[in-house]
Amino acid sequence: MRDDPRLPSSPGFWRSPLRGPRFTSVLGLVLLVGITVLFVTGLVSYAAYNPDLSPVNDKTPDKGILGFYLFAWPTNPHWLYRLNQGVHVTLGITLIPVLLAKLWSVIPRLFALPPARSLAHALERISLLLLVGGALFEFVTGVLNVQLDYVFPGSFYPLHFYGAWVFFAAFVAHALLKMPTALRNLRHLREERNDLVTPRPAAPTVSRRGALWFVGGGSLLLFATTVGQNFDGLLRRTALLAPHGGGDPGSGPNGFQINKTAAYAGIDTAETGEEAWRLVVTGPAGTVRLSRDQLAGFVLHSSALPIACVEGWSTSDQWWRGVRLRDLAALVGYDADDPPDVFVESLQRRGAFRSAALRANQVADPRSLLALYVNGEELSPDHGYPARIIVPAAPGVLNTKWVARMTFGDL
Ligand SMILES: Nc1nc2c(c(=O)[nH]1)N[C@H]1C(S)=C(S)[C@@H](COP(=O)(O)O)O[C@H]1N2
Ligand SMILES: [Mo]
C-alpha cells in the first residue's frame, strides 16, 4: 500500500525531479531571513499603535506576556513608521512566491505514512502543523487587510498579532532543527539524497536553476507592482496590486493619498461649517469650546510630515499648519513642556478609527499638530476638514480626521 505510486503516501507518487534537499534549503534560508524581518517589523508596528493606551487603542485583550516588549513609541525620526511599515508590507508580499515554492517542495512529507514513527516524530509533525498553518494564516490575513477585504471575524490586530506569536514560535523551533542540514546541503557540491528526492523522476520541464529564477522572478514582479505605494507621482501608479496605489490621488495641495473619504465616513457638511462645528477641549482647568476661526487665530506652526498607513502605503512629507497639541494641553491646565496623554474623538459616528489615544511624548513633540491647513491651503473635506491630528512617526490610524473632541489627562 505504501509503495502504490497512485497514492500520495507513496514516494513514487511525487515525480518532479526538482524536489530535493538543496532546492528546499535555498528557499528555507531566504525565508529564515525574510520572516525574521517580518516578525520584528510586525511587533514594532504593533507597538507604534500604542495598544496599551486605554480605552481605544487596545484591541487585543489579555495579551499578557506577549505584550512584554511594548514601549513608548518615539516621534523620531519622523519617517520611522513609514519605513517600518513599508518594509513589513512590501517584504511580506514579495515573499509569497518563495513561501509557496517552499511548501510545494516539501509537500510529499505532508502525506508520508505512518503519521508518526516515534514520539519525537509526532511532536515534530505537530509543530509543522503550527508552522504551515501559522504561515498561511499570517500571509492570508495580512494580504486581506492590505487589500481592504475585512472578511475575518473581529479586528485584524489581535488576529495577526496572536497568529504571529504562534507562527514564530513554530518557526524558531523549525529553524533550529533544520538549519544545520540546510547549511550542509548548500555547502556540499554533491547533493545528499533524502526522502524529498523522487525515486521515479519524470522528465524535467525546467532546470532547478530555472525554477529558482521563476520563483525569484515572481517575487520581483510582486515587489515592482507593490513598492510604488510608498512614493508619490508616477511611481505611485506602478503599484498596480495595491488598492491605494494605482489610483490618482488628484492634484493641488490636497492631492495626496486619501484613505477613507468624508462621504464614506458619513461626514455631513452641515456639521463642519463655521456655525456648527466646535472643538471641545477638556482638561483639569475645565472645558473650552473653540470655533475654527478662533483656532486659526492661535499661534500656528508648520511641520513637514508624511501619512503612513498600517496597510503599507505612505505619502512623502506634506506641509501641515495648525495648533500645537502641547499648546492645547496648556489651554486646559497643563504645562506645555510636560503634557499628559490625550484622547481624540472624531465627528464620525460609524466605522472604525473614529477615535485614538496619543501618548504624552507625542503630545509634547512641537511638530505634533491639530492641523487646519495642508500645503498652504485649507484641509479638504477628505483630508479631515475642519481639523485633523498629525503626529511625527505615528501610524496613519492615530492621525484622526474631522476632530470634534480632545480630552487631556493620563490614560
Ligand atoms: N475620523 C477618522 N480619522 C481617520 C481615519 C478614519 O477612518 N476616520 N482613518 C485613519 C487612517 S487608517 C489613516 S491611514 C489616515 C489617512 O489619512 P488621509 O486620508 O488624509 O491620507 O487617517 C486616519 N484618520
Ligand atoms: Mo491607515
Q: Do residues 107 and 14 make contact, with C-beta atoms less than 8 angstroms apart? A: yes
pLDDT surpasses 80 at 59: no
What's the distance, CA 19 to chain centroid?
33
**Which residue among 258, 259, 350, 382 is best mutated to probe the pocket of ligand 1, counting the most ligand atoms within 8 A of its Cβ?**
259
Q: Per-residue confidence at 351, pLDDT binned at 50, 70, 90? A: confident
The answer on 275 and 200 residing in a single domain is: no
Q: What sign does the CA torsion over 26, 29, 33, 35 have?
A: positive
pLDDT of 245: 53
Give the C-alpha separation, 76 to 401, whole Å.
Answer: 22
| CA-angle at 142, arms to 267 and 223, nearest 5° | 105
Q: How far from 73 is each of 52, 161, 357, 363, 395, CA to CA, in Å?
A: 11, 17, 12, 12, 10
Q: Give the range of the structural domain holding residue 142, as residue numbers without chain letter.
A: 11-224
Q: Do residues 279 and 403 make contact, with C-beta atoms less than 8 angstroms apart? A: yes
The answer on 219 and 274 residing in a single domain is: no
Q: Is the CB of 309 under 6 A from ligand 1?
A: yes
Q: Which ligand is nearest to the CA of 259?
A: 1
**Start-end of H helices in 95-118:** 96-105, 107-110
Q: What is the pLDDT of residues 205-220, one digit of tens each?
A: 999 999 999 999 999 9
Instruction: Give the CATH number of the domain where residue 318 resides.
Output: 3.90.420.10
Residue 51 lies in a domain: yes
The answer on 396 and 285 residing in a single domain is: yes
More confidently predicted of 51 and 189: 51
pLDDT of 358: 97
Residue 233 lies in a domain: no
Q: What is the mean pLDDT of residues 46-65?
A: 82
Question: Which residues surround the ion ligand 2 when the cut-off is CB under 5 Å?
Answer: 309, 396-397
Name the residue among 274, 242, 236, 309 with its Cα closest to residue 386. Answer: 274
pLDDT surpasses 50 at 383: yes
The answer on 278 and 171 residing in a single domain is: no
More confidently predicted of 234 and 166: 166
Q: What is the mean pLDDT of residues 223-245?
A: 88
Q: Is the CB of 383 under 6 A from ligand 1?
A: yes
**Which residue among 307, 399, 403, 405 is best mutated to probe the pocket of ligand 1, counting the most ligand atoms within 8 A of its Cβ?**
399
Residue 247 lies in a domain: no
pLDDT of 186: 87
The answer on 276 and 215 residing in a single domain is: no
* End-of-domain residue from the set 174, 208, 224: 224
* End-of-domain residue from the set 197, 224, 251: 224
Q: For the ranges 119-123, 361-365, 393-397, which has the lowest average pLDDT?
A: 119-123
CA of 217 to the centre of ligand 1 (A): 35
| Gyration radius (Cα) of the chain, Å | 26
The answer on 274 and 188 residing in a single domain is: no
Q: What is the mean pLDDT of residues 298-324?
A: 97
Residue 85 lies in a domain: yes
Q: What is the mean pLDDT of residues 43-71?
A: 85
The answer on 208 and 104 residing in a single domain is: yes
pLDDT surpasses 90 at 372: yes
Q: What is the mean pLDDT of residues 329-347?
A: 97
Name the residue among 320, 323, 324, 322 with its Cα closest to residue 374. Answer: 320
pLDDT surpasses 60 at 46: yes
Q: Per-residue confidence at 246, pLDDT binned at 50, 70, 90? A: very low
CA of 362 to the centre of ligand 2 (A): 18
Under DSSP, is residue 323 helix (H, G, I), strand (E, B) or coil? strand
The answer on 141 and 22 residing in a single domain is: yes
Q: Which ligand is nearest to the CA of 396?
A: 1
The answer on 134 and 24 residing in a single domain is: yes
pLDDT surpasses 70 at 317: yes
Q: How far from 344 is each of 29, 157, 279, 396, 400, CA to CA, in Å?
A: 45, 20, 11, 14, 7
Residue 236 lies in a domain: no
Burial class of residue 144, CB neighbours in 10 A (0-12, 13-18, 19+): middle
Q: Is the pTM of this model over 0.85?
A: yes
Q: Is the CB of 56 under 6 A from ligand 1?
A: no
Q: Do residues 300 and 372 make contact, with C-beta atoms less than 8 angstroms apart? A: yes
Question: Could you give the number of structural domains in the chain?
Answer: 2
Q: Do residues 354 and 348 make contact, with C-beta atoms less than 8 angstroms apart? A: yes
Q: Is the CB of 400 under 6 A from ligand 1?
A: yes
Q: What is the mean pLDDT of residues 136-156?
A: 87
Residue 246 lies in a domain: no
The answer on 99 and 159 residing in a single domain is: yes
The answer on 139 and 285 residing in a single domain is: no
Q: At what angle do helices 208-224 and 21-48 cross, to 10 degrees?
A: 20
Residue 27 lies in a domain: yes
